[in-house]
Amino acid sequence: MPQPWWRSAVFYQVYVRSFADSDDDGIGDLPGITSRLDYIRDLGVDAIWLTPFYPSPQKDHGYDVSDYFGVNPEYGTLEDFDRLLARAHELRLKVLVDIVPNHTSSQHDWFQAAVSSADNPMRSRYHFADPRPDGSPPNNWTSSFGGPAWSPEPNGKQWYLHLFAPEQPDLNWFDPAVPAEFERILKFWLDRGADGFRIDVAAALFKRQDLADRPYITDRVTGARRFDSTFQIIEQPQLHDVYRRWRQIANGYEPARVLVGEIFEPRRHSKYIVPDQLHMAFALIQQPWDAALWRRSIDASRRALQGPGAEPTWTLANHDVKRPVTRLGGGSTGRARARAALLLLAGLPGQVFLYQGEELGLEEVDVPDERRQDPVFLHSGGKEKGRDGCRVPLPWRKGEPNAGFSTAGPWLPMPEGWGRYAVDVQAAVGGSTLAHFRRTLAERRRLARRLARRLQWLTAPADVLAYSRGPLTVACNFRNRPARLPAPGGLLLGSDPLVSVRHGVLTLPGNSAAWLL
């Protein structure tokens, strides 16, 4: 049977604000992306995911939406989106739009109407509640960005719920008007030609209606108090009906559109990745560089999806987490491990999501505090550095102002020497990280029809992971010193130039990986 296009696809996340700036105002935009689609195509991916480009006050850089039917003027126009989509489709690239259904901006017309008077009907689209008798928030729920999950409404007596920043009030999905509006939003973008959606905070739309306090547990040894992790604020059963309806909408287009949920915990995946709900959810690996931990993560994600045709969606990075090169040790060590990790994950059954800049081996940037813009930093009083470090604009050309991103100062500062990672530099070097990504994705696509869905772990030395998928064998050395193991085939790809196969023995330098065929 023919497989859906997304079954073994590679997706490339474009952080719109930091990808490419067409008008030299220091901010990436949709025409800039369109001008670089050939670069994305040549990388060897099948689809792109665009972070939110809707009108927004940019309190959380697009994840605070004030209008779901337009384009932020900083990023362009609806016509620019249409041109981007048309060019992507000419290049046989699919395009996923980021939908933000958990909350709106506090500047959205719905919320502005809701706080305009106590009896406005729009109030039912959000969560409002009376404070406790002592004037404190309605319950003890906390925001992911720090502090209480409640703020007093402006010029009113009640408080409103926000699991993120106060400028991002949570929607009340128990109000029938909310799911109806989002069906209209989905159809608007699908009718324009979008190939699907990445769904932000996909498990959180419905909150428990009793607004009960989250109970504490006292540690028997230390006496410390912490929240009971079994208490569920989110993941109410009504969510499944929403995704069943969204799947019906997606299936109504030819070819069927794709739904990807931002749900990172593998134990949750089996609830949503079923034939009548979502197609995919992320299996994000953030483990330290340890073979046992990586195998445990891979196995946990695979066990979570046992249904017909369901496979994990592997990823090491996105706009919310520290860049892999830095997480894995930084510098040349971190870059070697990130190159090896690409071979390890790209050989697995399932889909792969890459985040812009991974292919250049970019590291996390230590953005000066006075230039940080992430609400995580702002709302934690600087205790948490936030996510700006992985969002610094891409370097395109060495020797040009701001490494070719923009002649104007970019919205986040680019560090000194950023140009040494530029695309034009790496495109001219056969052993660059960019060249490694291009070769890996080309071979993955070439082999896709030959590889078995079943994965078999192989016996390997300590601190080495090895598995086979039909004719392909993948081995990854987590040691800092070389490892040797039997080679069941010839060398197809190596993450390090010193990877070799001689006389039936595979030699893996420290922190390297190989594909054998």
What is the C-alpha to C-alpha distance for residues 24 and 21, in angstroms, rounded to an integer? 6
Helices (H) and strands (E) in the chain, counts: 14, 21
What is the C-alpha to C-alpha distance for residues 517 and 502, in angstroms, rounded to an integer? 14
Tokens of 284: 């994000």
CA angle, residues 495, 354, 332, in degrees to nearest 5: 40
What is the C-alpha to C-alpha distance for residues 361 and 353, in angstroms, rounded to an integer? 15
Strand order in the sheet with 500-502: 483-486, 505-508, 500-502
What is the C-alpha to C-alpha distance for residues 361 and 332, in angstroms, rounded to an integer? 10
Q: Does 262 participate in catalysis according to the annotation? A: yes
Given 170, 195, 200, 374, the catalytic residue: 200
CB 17 within 8 A of CB 61: yes
HSE at residue 365, side-chain half, CA atoms within 13 A, is 23
Ramachandran area for residue 489 (φ above 0: left; ψ -120 to 50: alpha; else beta): beta
What is the C-alpha to C-alpha distance for residues 262 and 281, in angstroms, rounded to an integer? 6
Q: What are residue 491's phi and psi, to 5 degrees?
A: -75, 125
Given 80, 153, 170, 262, the catalytic residue: 262
Q: Does 388 participate in catalysis according to the annotation? A: no
Question: Per residue, what are the HEC states of 334-388?
Answer: HHHHHHHHHHHHHCCCCEEEEECCHHHCCCCCCCCHHHCCCHHHHHCCCCCCCCH
242: nearest Cα among 299, 186, 307: 186
10: nearest Cα among 346, 473, 312: 346
Kindly list the catalytic residues. Answer: 200, 262
